[in-house]
Structure 1
Amino acid sequence: MTRPPTAAQRRVIDAADPVTGRLRGTEAQLAALVGRGLAFRHPRPPHAHFLTPAGHRVRETPESEPGAEAPATATPAGSEGSGGSEGSGVFAARIGGEEGGGTGPARLREVHSAWQGLLEMRRMTNPDGATDRPCGWERTHLVRAAALALEAAGHRPADAAAASPGYRVRATPQPEAVAVHEPDPGALRACAATLEKAGWQTGEHTEPRTGSRYVLASPRRA
């Protein structure tokens, strides 16, 4: 738990872009929000500041009464704050097979914000500024990047706790390739279509031992 933001900080949070969470304010205000885990500074020029999931929660929570405490915060780590990262309290795209994943408005907002941040990373790091193909970060975080594209498009990951079907994204021995498993053939083809739209090359294959179908996907280069 921590103190609620000051009135000036709250105004900066409330004025953030409603889709991307991009912030505008003085350097001191932005640095203070970063220090409290409510914002992160993008590692690439122009080093814009964006709300973290905790910052989004503050914006959507009515201002507290005097003396009330704000929710505990979580700070993204480096560039993974906008593209999906791993660790306790930090956003991570669901690769399928996790237990008890939420699907409410807060999760949908976090996923949308992460996907928009990833598109912005593509724009700033691809040499031609293209947003229709993966960037360097995605090529070094293949499983999380593919999972984010799927979750952002509305596909449901498999839930281990509920034993519910859904996609599972897994690493493969092949360089720059992940495997997407989905027991429903139609849903598997839909996953492939989503990844192709997100800039991945896909192909459907059959597992020799089980006969089950899966999609092999790799980031498109051009």
Structure 2
Amino acid sequence: MTRPPTAAQRRVIDTADPVTGRLRGTPAQLAALVRRGLAFRHPRPPHDHFLTPAGHRVRETGAEGPPESAPEQPATGVFTARTGGEEEPPDTGPARAREVRGAWQGLLELRRMTNADGATDRPCGWERSHLVQAAALALEAGGHRPAGPGDDGGGYRVRATPQPDAVAVHEPDGAALRACALTLERAGWHVGEHTEPRTRSRYLLASPRKV
């Protein structure tokens, strides 16, 4: 059984940046998290420390290591991506717009800091382990509207699929669906349009581009 993080280490993990996973703590705390595989030290200056996927899981689930058959959890913190169909109507005010813009800029910085070549035009490891939230953030940052409560009306919905590296994007309006595809492609995702066999409705299958 892996020994759980100490209370001090948990405080460092819990106060990490909700999007980038950037950590703040004493050198001893950060080094201990690195040894446990919960954080890594970026090789380029200023050599900041970031949560690894295992560190993100500790913050989100309270347990170390990947839980068996656990559903994907939304990123914790002040910002949560709107995946569409939430119980509350989507907030479209200026405060939400600022939050989305800040979250997207933080994600681009995370790409720069964690992709081996510093590229910002393709998804990073955090996005690959949070597919639904990452795709939803790209869509909302691109100006698309998430679906509100219920099944009526337009707006996107991002859902997990049986494929481990792909999400489905549903949007009842065909033109809006194609616009979603263009936004995801610009954000570094491979996108294909498909037809649901039973309902004949069109949807997108999107996966993070690797190169």
TM-score relative to the length of structure 1: 0.63
The answer to whether residue 116 in structure 2 is matched with residue 127 in structure 1 is yes
Does the C-alpha gap of structure 1 residues 78 and 120 become closer, same or farther in structure 2, counting only changes over 3 Å?
farther
Q: Answer yes or no: is the 8 Å Cα contact 1:97–1:160 preserved in 2.
A: yes
Offset at 1:90?
2.8
- State the Cα deviation string for residues 71-116 of structure 1 (Å, max 9, x = none): xxxxxx969xxxx9545x6311100001222111110000000000
The answer to whether residue 79 in structure 2 is matched with residue 94 in structure 1 is no
Q: Answer yes or no: is the 8 Å Cα contact 2:193–2:202 preserved in 1.
A: yes
RMSD: 2.8
Matched position secondary structure for 1:121: helix
Q: Answer yes or no: is the 8 Å Cα contact 2:156–2:169 preserved in 1.
A: yes
Does the C-alpha gap of structure 1 residues 128 and 171 become closer, same or farther in structure 2, counting only changes over 3 Å?
same
Aligned to 1:211: 200
Unaligned runs of 5+ in 1: 1-33, 49-76
Aligned to 2:22: 42
The within-5 A match list for 1:60-71 is none
**Pair member with larger Rg:** 1
* CA distance, structure 2, for counterparts of residue 78 and residue 160 of structure 1: 28
* CA distance, structure 2, for counterparts of residue 145 and residue 167 of structure 1: 14
Aligned to 2:183: 194
Matched position secondary structure for 2:146: coil
Aligned to 1:68: none
Does the C-alpha gap of structure 1 residues 78 and 109 become closer, same or farther in structure 2, counting only changes over 3 Å?
farther
- State the Cα deviation string for residues 128-171 of structure 1 (Å, max 9, x = none): 00000000000000000000000001000000169431000000
Letter paired with 1:200: W
* CA distance, structure 2, for counterparts of residue 93 and residue 215 of structure 1: 18
Does the C-alpha gap of structure 1 residues 90 and 163 become closer, same or farther in structure 2, counting only changes over 3 Å?
farther
Does the C-alpha gap of structure 1 residues 124 and 86 become closer, same or farther in structure 2, counting only changes over 3 Å?
closer
Letter paired with 1:91: F
Of 145, 157, 162, which residue of structure 1 is paired with 2:146? 157
Give the fraction of aligned pairs with identical amino acids, expressed as a percent: 69
Offset at 1:42?
1.5
Q: Answer yes or no: is the 8 Å Cα contact 1:42–1:78 preserved in 2.
A: no
Q: How many residues align structurally?
A: 155
Does the C-alpha gap of structure 1 residues 173 and 165 become closer, same or farther in structure 2, counting only changes over 3 Å?
same
